[in-house]
Structure 1
Amino acid sequence: MPGQRPEAPVECKSGEDLPKRSGSRVSCHEGIIKLQSADMPCLPGAEFNNDCNRCVCGNAGEEFCTLKGCSAEQPVAGCPHGPAFIDECNNDCNCVNGKVYSCTKKACKPGEQPEKPRSCGVDDNLPKRTGRRVFCHKGIIKTQSLDAPCLPGSVYKADCNTCVCGDNGVAGCTLKLCSKDESGCPHGKEFIDECGNDCNCVDNKFYGCTRKACKAGQTSQKPMSCNGTDNLPERSKRRVFCHDKIVKVQNEDAKCLPGALFKMECNNCVCSDNGVAGCTLKLCLPEQKADCTLKRLKRSTEPCPPGCAHGPEFIDECGNDCRCVDNKFYGCTFKACREGQMSQKPMSCKGSDGLPNRSRRRVFCHENIVKVQDTDAKCLPGAAFKNECNSCVCSDTGVAGCTLKLCI
């Protein structure tokens, strides 16, 4: 520009209005603007900026800076909503290189728009993000690191308390006493107490319990302790489990609590961080024989359970192997079932395609259900199965006819 000379230092009087250089310290030193790496000791007597704070360098190269709470948000044309926000579809959106937002890809519900910030009010229930502060700022939901100075005017929750950020980046919060789960029910929704009573959380305020008499040394409404799956009480059609070393209860079809330990028939299960249970795969034998004998002794008209109507072996909807025991009932492994599947209900089929595999066993479709037998056993008339890449059908005489493709 006119009046400027190449290679002439730019003069300065203080650390105000200095230019910025990414990764470098720009300072005013001895009346001129100087540049050095940000990780080098500063120049004695130099003035420079650190975010919104003014700094002066000491004689030994140490920095002396003001302690203002600097806004973590630096709006730019490409990212007008700050570094991070949550959109209407509950996606996390982060500013990339100060130019554009990159968002997660959760499906939007009707009326929602991706990458459009979710609006909020002071008293709204804000979503949660592990390790992040979620707050309402200028009418939209934003996020930042928990250790970052809060944005002036932002409102957020700290446990059950409401916090408002001041102009200096320091928040003032209410001082309510918060229980473990932000309610009056610190042990979760349901537990069993030392006396064997069922206790349920009422309106997130207190527990209501049944009134069984307590034995000496027991305390009502004090949770029953546990150290695993041994000796857990039973509740019909409910999951009784050990969680945080106390006995809790939930519906069998509910998502299990991470870290929960419980029984599925004779198998031990542990719940993963995503709420899916992993169980041992022991063959459990239901005690049907004794039940049936008792009914007969009482001359009950109710028939005993039928025998093994699906043959010696089949695979159920959950992928479990079920085997006939004493021609009376089936004992099955216990893999976890997905939604809509039923244990001990045979897996359906319509031919040899898509059948599961079992090492050194013949898996076949017979009477529209998936069955299993030894590979050297006589096949069942009408059974359809695979022999490598070839499809086979069993004749009325128990002899299989197969296609003759060359399998690679």
Structure 2
Amino acid sequence: MYILFINCILIWLLNVDSLSSNISHWSHKSDLPRIQNGQSCVPGKLYRMDCNTCRCGEENSLLCTKMACLTDEDIDAIFHESKPSSLQEEKKDNILRKRMKSDLKYPDVPSKKCVPGKLYKKGCRKCFCDQSGTARCANRIQCNDDRSILMLTPEDVRPRFEKEELNSLSLLPNTATRCEPGKAYKVDCNFCLCLINRNLLCSKMLCLSFNDTYRIKALKYTGKPCEENETTENECIKCSCITKLTRCKEIPDCIPNAMRTPHGEHGKKKPKLMLSLKKDNDKCIPFSVYNDDCNKCYCQDDSTLRCTQKICLNYVQFLKLKKRRLYLEKHGL
């Protein structure tokens, strides 16, 4: 019963599915004023709370992003919750603990090879150590930048990806997946770097989900009257007539023609549709669905976004959850 109770609590934490208000203009800038719960704020203004960005609503209510802001104390707590079962496991824990803590700081770039996945600094530029042990530094000058690692993007810590490099990136299903320190990956439409603790540092784009978009459209068309045995296929949706009612399904992994070709009929240019968009300044395609890590964002008819607010785990948080669950199961709790 206790295990069931713990699992229910964990599932609840990972599925806070309440829809947020318009988030299409969230900012990740480090110059936002800091705020704590209970402090007064100006409605509509953006603030920083630890590593999260918050928008002030009515009556001093704060709508914030839900990133986990790890400190040295948080890292110690992760390993304090469950004791290792052997000296070998304790040694592994200590190594991972040191790696996680070192990832919170920016030492100077070493003269020889660096540690893959580790972040460094070179003057006012942040640097990322790749698989080969070579430090690659960002083009941006970032003096006095105190942002959390979770607020950074790959371009904050290394040069921009070249086209050839982007085409060769391995694909990962989500940000909680184990990765190889120093290596670059792609998650949906975002580019990610694997840090020394195997967490992913990713760009912050919302990724257009064709499957979800056309699944919702298929549900909308389903149930309408039709002629017997009538079958239609409209781009990424296939409909059949069953008992005089339309039954529609999306075509898996279908990409509409408007996304494939830059020109329409008679050589006329079609309007450019974005496969991804930035949260702070791009307009979404009305009635489309975007992926934001483990969350879904639904574009309204006025091109604003309504997003779910699940807590998306990174690899370290996933390990913590797994370690805790195994400990409870082992001791019959």
Between Structure 1 and Structure 2, which shows a larger proportion of helix residues? 2
- TM-score between the two structures when normalised by the length of structure 2: 0.23
* TM value normalised by structure 1: 0.19
In proportion to residue count, which structure has more strand? 1
Rg comparison, structure with higher value: 1
